[in-house]
Amino acid sequence: MKKTYLIFFLSGIFMISCQTNMTGEMETKNPFFEKYKTPFNVPDFEQINNDHFMPAFEKGMEDHKKEIEAIVNNKEEPSFENTVVALEESGASLTKVSNVFYNLLLSLTNDTLQNIAKKIAPELSKHRDDILLNAPLFSRIKIVNDNKDASELNSEQAKLLDETYKNFVRGGANLGEKDQEKLRKFNKELSLLSLNFGDNLLAENNSFTLVIDNEEDLIGLPEPVITSATETAIRKNMEDKWVFTLQKPSMIPFLQYSEKRNLREKIFKAYINRCNNGNEYDNKEKVAEITILRFERAVLLGYKNHADYVLEENMAKEPQKVYDFLNKIWDPALQVAMKEADELQKMMDAEGKNGQLHPWDWWYYAEKLRQQKYELDEEMLRPYFVLENVRKGAFYVANRLYGLVIEERTDIPKYHKDVQVYEVKEADGSHIGILYMDFFLRDSKRGGAWMDSYRKQYRRNGENITPVITTNFNFTRPTGDKPVLLNFEEVSTLFHEFGHALHGLLSNCQYRSLSGTSVPRDFVELPAQIMENWAAEPEVMKVYAKHYETGEPIPENLVDKLEKSKHFNQGFVSVEYLSASFLDMDWHTIGKTTEIDVLDFEDRFLNNIKMIPEIIVRYRSTYFAHIFSGGYSSGYYSYIWAEVLDADAFAAFKETSLFDSEIAAKFRKNILERGGTDDPMILYKKFRGAEPEIEPMLERKGLI
């Protein structure tokens, strides 16, 4: 998942300054006020501390305001260079601190950072609005836009102008004074609500533990799962016990293997009721407030609803097109899921269990059925998926496709001891960028997996500014003498986020705001999801899937079993995901501003889509972080949309060879390098020669 946060017109030259304290004595220099003295100018994590952020934010906004004033007060006739490019290059010091702060807020948070975030959020919201609602500035941009036909701009310049003009219009530049004040209020409130939603979810995740003190309650659990629970208990100072948490690497194996149905029910219900317990972390009120504010803001800006506002900038363009797309997949997926549920119910009945199959039973019986049908146990695969080898496998694919050389650097500062840092180079040894990989879960890190940047790629004054990219995961730490062993879903996740990283690293754009992953939400997942295909290819598996004890490659019979089982449980996976996509769209096509009962809304939604009771929507509203504290509102459908693209795109390789250099070069040139410099469908057709069809994706999932 690609994370996106506050967007500013920021980049440029860093200011050198220092602070003075109340006694007039010189304080330690703030690392954000000078150029980092680090290799490749990466963030100087060894010098940065929490006290540096607020002064850096304040000075960053002050500097940015002066740069905006200089553009507005320029006596020359507005031009692309003195207005649009000047705006694009403004705000460098604010970008510098924002990139570090918001990445650390997600990956290594603490009370201080969370308090800073709450304090700075309304100030940053006001600062952004001050720019977008600056009438003289917009007047200059409008003049440039009105005269664009006579400006002889190249395609990337034209795209920057178009995006800049639209940002101001969509940011309220054409509204009257009273409506602009309303917009400011909406934006300020939304910035805080989204932060609070995410903080509540992190706290709720960390507040629950399933503590087992009776060894008999571990029945059915594989030895590695028990060992991991022992290590978790030790870290939480609960020696002689076993602890399971709501983090998926802990919870999912418990649901798959525990024979204690009451305990499966307990941990599952804790998971699906996160931030829905009537306590200080309850998010129901925040969901309602965010939804209403987004609706009112969209109407104020001239849109029917929030989804209309968001999708105008996406490939889908309008809500009905998203609904039509999802419905094409929903009907066959639901039919498959119903057959799967019936099969699991029969297995449950055959065991003499009384009653209905429940959601907390699905994982358990699906795992048993997979073993029965394919003689494949997930734990049979895990010994072959050593984290370090999987990482090397992803790097191997990048080398074979694009000639990339990726080498670990031990001389580069990092924000946590577990982080690994790599330099990415072309085949000729020339520097491309820096990649951070943060693999392990911890209480200070948000759940899930994501990619982001500490610095995006762009060019300025003839110099190519190289990217600094970060990837985050939540894998379980190594236990005892064993290395980190992944399941296949985690293997796919590593390849997925590395695909996002390549999108950021291989960017070759002039302007920062168009570079890398600055593309429509329903296009950004393509580079990530296509990488998952190589993870499952036998030719690639032979490279990275080696037994942690013997070093032997994964046996062909196991690879064959994995291949034969690829359609297994796909009804469940698809229905779980698609229902969340529908829920996202329903929240953001809402057409009222009256009080909302979140649970009643969910119940009616589930009835409308005819959701079967054996499956729970992947994300219930109170913990749907993608849409209420991330950047995926009205865009969660993007993953399945991108699957259509990636199934078609990967077919181009399968039609020739897995590492076809010509096709790889076309994908790099037309997709990975181009960022948001052109319409995504135009870029895709330049790569593939035609628009994609939905059938390859449905066939791959076994839905047709």
158-184: average pLDDT: 97
- Quick one: which of 18, 10, 23 has its CA closest to 34? 18
Residue 24 is which amino acid? G
Residues with Cβ within 8 Å of 693's Cβ and at least 6 positions away in sequence, in order, are 644, 648
Burial 360-391 (b: 16+ CB within 10 A, else e): bbbbbbbbbbbeeeeebbbbebbbbbbbebbb
Q: What pLDDT does 6 receive?
A: 38
Q: What pLDDT does 1 receive?
A: 66
Neighbours of 551 (CB within 10 A): 9
Length of the chain in terms of residues written = 704
C-alpha distances in Å from residue 255, one per residue of 104, 147, 202, 365, 390: 31, 62, 21, 9, 25
Q: What pLDDT does 593 receive?
A: 73
520 pLDDT above the threshold of 80: yes
What percentage of the chain's residues is helix, strand, coil (to nearest 5)?
Answer: 55, 10, 35
User: Which is catalytic among the residues 67, 89, 163, 497?
Assistant: 497
122: number of CA atoms within 13 Å, CB side?
10
Q: What pLDDT does 24 receive?
A: 35
Query: Phi and psi at residue 439, in whole multiples of 5°?
Result: -90, -30
* pLDDT tens-digit readout, 272-282: 999 999 999 99
54-64: average pLDDT: 98
Q: What pLDDT does 704 receive?
A: 83
Q: What pLDDT does 76 receive?
A: 97
341-347-350 Cα angle (round to 5): 140
* pLDDT tens-digit readout, 416-446: 999 999 999 999 999 999 999 999 999 999 9
Q: What is the pTM of this model?
A: 0.92
7: number of CA atoms within 13 Å, CB side?
18
350 pLDDT above the threshold of 70: yes
The pLDDT > 70 percentage for the chain reads 96
Per CATH, 31-132+134-170 and 284-376+570-636 having the same topology is answered no
* pLDDT tens-digit readout, 311-341: 999 999 999 999 999 999 999 999 999 999 9
Confidence of residue 591 (pLDDT cuts 50, 70, 90): confident
Confidence of residue 378 (pLDDT cuts 50, 70, 90): confident
8 pLDDT above the threshold of 80: no
Q: What pLDDT does 21 receive?
A: 36
* pLDDT tens-digit readout, 440-480: 999 999 999 999 999 999 999 999 999 999 999 999 988 77
The pLDDT > 90 percentage for the chain reads 91
CA–CA separation, 158 vs 452, rounded Å?
26
Neighbours of 521 (CB within 10 A): 24
Residue 704's SS3 state is coil
Class of 383-564+639-701 per CATH?
Answer: mainly alpha
C-alpha distances in Å from residue 599, one per residue of 453, 617, 700: 36, 13, 35
Q: What pLDDT does 151 receive?
A: 86
> Taking a C-beta distance cutoff of 8 angstroms, is the pair 1, 626 a contact?
yes
Residue 377 is which amino acid? D
CA–CA separation, 703 vs 334, rounded Å?
9
| 523 strand-pairing partners | none
* pLDDT tens-digit readout, 31-44: 999 999 999 999 99
Q: Is 497 a catalytic residue?
A: yes
Domain boundaries, the chain: 31-132+134-170, 208-272, 284-376+570-636, 383-564+639-701
Residue 144's SS3 state is helix
Residue 366's SS3 state is helix
CA–CA separation, 298 vs 285, rounded Å?
20
569 pLDDT above the threshold of 80: yes
Average pLDDT, the chain: 94
Q: What pLDDT does 28 receive?
A: 58
635-660: average pLDDT: 95
Q: What pLDDT does 2 receive?
A: 58
Q: What pLDDT does 109 receive?
A: 96
CA–CA separation, 403 vs 668, rounded Å?
11
Q: Has domain 31-132+134-170 been given CATH number 3.30.110.70?
A: no
* pLDDT tens-digit readout, 274-313: 999 999 999 999 999 999 999 999 999 999 999 999 999 9
Tokens of 671: 């997709």
Residue 439's SS3 state is strand
23 pLDDT above the threshold of 60: no
Residue 124 is which amino acid? L
Fold of 284-376+570-636: Neurolysin; domain 3 (1.10.1370)
